[in-house]
Amino acid sequence: MSVGDTLKSGGIFTGDIERPGMVHCVTIRSRRAAARILGIDAPTLPRDLTLLTARDIPGANTIDVYGETMPVLAPGKVTYIGEPVALLAGPSPASVLSTAKQIELRYDETDPVFTFETASPEQIVREHTFVRGTPDETMSNASQVVEGAYRTGVQEHMYNDPFAAFAELVDGILDVATATQWPHHVARTVAAVTGRPIATCRVRVAETGIPLDGKLWYPALPACHAAIVALVCGRPARLVYTRIEDFLYTPKRSPAFVRHTTGLDENGDINAMDVEILFDTGAYPVFTDESISRYVHAATGVYNCANTRLRVAAVRTNHPPLNVFQGLATAQASFAAESHAARIVEVAQAEPIEWRTRNMHTATRPGRDKQGRDKKPGGPIELMRRVAEVSDFRRKYAAFELQKKRRPEGGVEVDAGRGIGIAVCTQGTGLIGRGEDNETTTVRVRMEQNGTVEVSCAAVAEGSSLFRLWRRQVAEILSVKDDDVRFRPIDTLTVPDTGPSAFSRNAGIVTKLVTSACDAIQRRRFRDPLPIEVKRTYKLPAGVRWSPEKPLGDAYAHTAWAACVVEVETNSVTFSARVRGVWICVDGGEIGSFENAYRSVERSIVASLGWSSTEDVSFAAGAVSRIAYPVVSSPHRARPDSIWVDFIASSEPIKGIGELPANCVPAAYCAAVTQATGRYVDTIPATPDVIYAYLEEE
C-alpha cells in the first residue's frame, strides 16, 4: 500500500505509517545553547545503523521561510539546546534508541544570551519605529501620565501528535508524508535539501488535529530529515519525536515585553501614546516581518491617538525558535493594550465601557461612514453593549469595586475576592498589509459531464467543518447534490499551491476562491460543453495599502471584532483564580455553521485561559523546564465554569474568528484578577505563585 492509499483512509497520523524493511530515525541534539562542535564520539556502529551529519546532505542545508533561514542539521556550531546535529537510523527502534544514548558531542562553548528585555544591539534582528504627531510635546503637557510594563509568556501548542515524518522513494518520486499546514513549503524545502527537481518530490498531508499554527513551517525540518535518511539508506524512513522531545525543543509562542506610556487630558482621555515592544525570536527568527507588522498594527489596540510613538524590536536569543502561534503577535500586543486600558480606567476613575467608547478609533463609533451611509450594526460598541448586558458586567463591576475598596491595605485577603474584566479586540484575515502579494493562493474546480464536481487545493483544515461548508456552497451554486462534490486529496504534485493554512486564510481567502470558481463554471456551463475547469488565484484588494511605515487604513482584506468579559473568584488558600464565566460576542461576518464556529471559539477560549493562568512554560539556562509538561498537557487545565458565545448577524463575507479569544480573553482575565486582588496584574501567565507575590506586595 502506498503512502497515498494509507492516508486516504482518513485520520492517519504519520506515526501510524508502516512499511516492511523501513528504518527508524532519531535526532542527535545539542546539549549546549551556544558552542562550536568539535566532534562526535560514537561507538562502533553495526552495519545496519547509519549516522548522518550535515556533510551527508545532498543539497542545501537550509530551511527558508520568506527569506529567513535555519540549518537542517547544525553545520559546525549550535545556537540552542536541542538543535539537531545528526541523525541515527536503523531497522530496530530499540537498537537506534540505545545507541543514540551512547553518542556524545564534544563542544567548545561560547557565552549564550537568554535575556531579551534588555537586548544588546547585536541581538536586534530587526526593528521598526514610527512617529505620528507630536508625542513628546503632548505628553509633557498631559494632565496625567500613566505608565505600565506588560509581559507575556511562552505557550506550548500541544497539538494532537508530536512532529513526525515518513519518506520513501517510489518509481523515482520521493514520497513524503507529514502533518503540515503548508504542504507546498515542505515540498519546496525537501526538493532543495535533497537536491532533486521539485517535480520528483511529493508531499502528502497526514492528520494534523488542532495545531494552533504549530505545524506551519517547522514540519519541513523532520520531513527533510526523513527524506535524507530514506535516500542515503535506500529504504523507507520514519522519524517520530517523543512527546517530551517535542515539548522541549520545538517552536512555541514568542514571549514579549511591552512598555506603555500614555498621556491623558483633563477628561481622562488619551492624547499621547508611547509604546515599546520587544519580543524573543529564539535562535532562528521566522515570520519576523509579519510579526513586526502585526505588533505595529495592534500596539495601540483599538484606540485613537493623533500623537503616537511606536518601537518594535525582534530580539535573537539562544532559546529554541519562538514564533508562530494562533494570534501571532496580535495576541501579545492586544493583551498589553487592553491591560493598559484597564489601568487607565482605574487611574482616571472612569467606567470601563464608557471610557473605551470615547477613546476608540473614530471609524468604530456609531454614525455614518465616509460615503455618508449609516454604519452597520455589530461594531465594537454594540459588541460591548451586548456582552455587558448578558454578563451583567456593569452591576458586577460596581459591586466588586466596592468589595475591593473595603479590603484592608496590604497582606493577603482572608475571604475570596471577586473580579470582572472586559476587553475588545480585532482579528485580521490573511497576511497583514501587502503580505498576500508574496503568496500564490490558487484553487481549481472542475465539473464533469456526469455532474460531479472536484475541488483541488492544498488547504489543510482542522476537522471537516470547513470542507462541509465548501461542499454545501459548491452544491448550491452549481445545483448539484452534496454527495456529488468531492475534494481531491492533498498531493503537491496534483493540487495547486494554496499557501499556508494559517491566519484564517482558509476561511477568508480560500472560501472566496472556491465560490468564485463555481460562479464562473455556472456562467459557462449552459453555453460551453462539460467538463469545465476553472482556476482562481487570490489577488489582494487594491484598497489594502497598510504598511508599518504608513500604518493607516485597512491592514487586512477582512477584519473580525470581539468583545469579551471574564469573571473570576480568587482563592486565598491556593491563590488560584477560578474562572466563573467567560462571555464573548463576535462579529465574524457570515457564519457557515454556528455549531462549528462555537466549537472553534470555545477551544480558543480554553487555550487562552491556559496561557493566561496556568501554563508556565519557562526557560532555565536555555532549556525548557520539564516541570511544566504535566500542566500544559492536562486536557482540563483551564476550563471555566461556563462559556457563552454570541455571533452578530452579518451578511459580510466569512472572516477568521478562531484567534479572537487569544486577542481579548487574557486581558479580560487579568483585569478581573486585578479587581479581585486589588493588585495590578500585568504578567501572563498569572499563576498562583504570581498572584501570591502580588498579594504580598506592600
* Mean pLDDT, range 626-648, rounded to an integer: 81
pLDDT digit string, tens, across residues 81-116: 999 999 999 999 999 999 999 999 999 999 999 999
Residue 369 is predicted with a pLDDT of 47
pLDDT at 5 over 70: no
pLDDT at 374 over 50: no
Average pLDDT over all residues of the chain = 93
pLDDT digit string, tens, across residues 262-275: 999 999 999 999 99
Question: How far apart, in whole angstroms, are the C-alpha atoms of residue 509 and residue 539?
Answer: 10
| Residue that the C-alpha cell 522541549 belongs to | 248
Residue 373 is predicted with a pLDDT of 42
* Mean pLDDT, range 205-228, rounded to an integer: 95
Classify the phi-psi angles of 65: left when phi > 0, otherwise alpha if psi is within -120 to 50, otherwise beta: beta
pLDDT digit string, tens, across residues 511-551: 999 999 999 999 999 899 999 999 999 998 887 889 888 88
pLDDT at 366 over 60: no
Residue 649 is predicted with a pLDDT of 86
pLDDT at 358 over 70: yes
Backbone angles phi, psi at 603, to 5 degrees: -60, -45
Q: Say which residue, 592 or 188, is predicted with more confidence.
A: 188
Question: How far apart, in whole angstroms, are the C-alpha atoms of residue 111 and residue 598?
Answer: 48
pTM for the full predicted model: 0.95
Q: How confident is the model at residue 409 (pLDDT cuts 50, 70, 90)?
A: low
Question: How far apart, in whole angstroms, are the C-alpha atoms of residue 436 and residue 608?
Answer: 27
Residue 372 is predicted with a pLDDT of 44
- Looking at the chain, the whole-number percentage of residues with pLDDT higher than 70 is 94
Among the listed ranges 89-98, 320-329, 373-382, 485-494, which one has the minimum average pLDDT value? Answer: 373-382
| Domains of the chain (ranges, CATH numbers) | 3-111+158-249 (3.90.1170.50), 351-429+556-698 (3.30.365.10), 440-537 (3.30.365.10)
Backbone angles phi, psi at 680, to 5 degrees: -70, 120
Q: How confident is the model at residue 363 (pLDDT cuts 50, 70, 90)?
A: low
Half-sphere exposure of 225 (CA within 13 A, CB side): 33
Nearest CA among 446, 390, 376 for reference residue 582: 390
The helix (run of H) or strand (run of E) holding residue 613 is helix 594-613
Question: How far apart, in whole angstroms, are the C-alpha atoms of residue 320 and residue 679?
Answer: 33
Among the listed ranges 36-45, 206-215, 521-530, 575-584, which one has the minimum average pLDDT value? Answer: 206-215
Question: How far apart, in whole angstroms, are the C-alpha atoms of residue 100 and residue 51?
Answer: 10
Q: How confident is the model at residue 210 (pLDDT cuts 50, 70, 90)?
A: confident
Among the listed ranges 317-321, 396-400, 587-591, 682-686, which one has the minimum average pLDDT value? Answer: 587-591
Measured from the Cβ of residue 91, the count of other Cβ atoms closer than 10 Å reads: 14
Question: How far apart, in whole angstroms, are the C-alpha atoms of residue 516 and residue 522?
Answer: 10
Residue 411 is predicted with a pLDDT of 53
Q: Hey, what's the torsion of the CAs at 583, 584, 585, 590, to 10 degrees?
A: -130
Residue 12 is predicted with a pLDDT of 83
DSSP tag of 303: B
Q: Is 420 helix (H, G, I), strand (E, B) or coil?
A: strand
Report yes or no: 96 and 45 within 8 Å, Cβ to Cβ.
no
pLDDT at 441 over 60: yes
Residue 254 is predicted with a pLDDT of 98
Residue 632 is predicted with a pLDDT of 73
**To the nearest 5 percent, what fractions of the chain are helix, strand and coil?**
30, 25, 40
* Mean pLDDT, range 357-386, rounded to an integer: 69
pLDDT at 368 over 80: no
